[in-house]
Structure 1
Amino acid sequence: MEHAVALSHLIFSGVLFRHPGLTLIAAHGGGYLPTHIGRADHAWRARTDAAADCAHAPSSYLRRPYFDSLAHDPHVLRELVRVAGAAGCSSARTSPSTWGPGPGRRPARGGPVRHRPPPSPRRQRRRAPHAPTAPAVQP
């Protein structure tokens, strides 16, 4: 929910219109916004207060951010690709620099995120600390 609210604020407040070079990365497929962008477009057309700072239909801005593909549902992922474009979607385990630059975008600095390999099973086992032994009680 927070992802959709944050993106909606950036769209409806005109931030994405005023800052065309701003690069965003939206987690979790952008929340519910990509699948319900029709509601935002309807509000933009029907309500003057919704369109006051937003120069274009909200759906036109969904091709700007990058989205990770962690949607947990194939139907949601298909809708995300439909509204945001395949070039703007990537695996949640990569960085934007591995996607390559999109049209009109500069390549990101650096390379892909390097992940630490999982620890070996030998290192995962930890020995329990030795409990101190109580002195023997003499009768």
Structure 2
Amino acid sequence: MADPAERVSVTIPRSVLAKFDSVLEQRGFSNRSQAIAEILNREIIDASSEEVDQVMAGTITIFYSTLRNNLQSTLSKIQRKHIAEVISSLHVQLENDHIMEVLVVQGPAWKLRDIANELITCKGVKTGNLNLSSTIIPPLHQK
């Protein structure tokens, strides 16, 4: 059953609205309401991820070079150390000896943030980010 919608009125400067309309068109939103709902949901997820034990699911994406000695081994050790939270990973070969790795993770938001920081701050990792959702993966095995 769909969540009932509530109509609200918002007053914002015309210049901000024009920029917002441009962004929502570029991103392919069908209307302002859809775009605003997505932005609000993202903010709510970010705020709820600050709760100490809020369990969340998400991805950690990192980009790095294969030319850095022992980096892949270090990243694997970190993932193995957090095997309860790292559900799966995708390893993609990019050009010029670069790798994109996407980890599917689930657990307390604070712990996922710590894991992401541990991975992203490894010497040789070019960039990375954590993306969380309040929707979690169903248990794989029932007791």
- Using the size of structure 2 for normalisation, the TM-score is 0.22
- Using the size of structure 1 for normalisation, the TM-score is 0.22
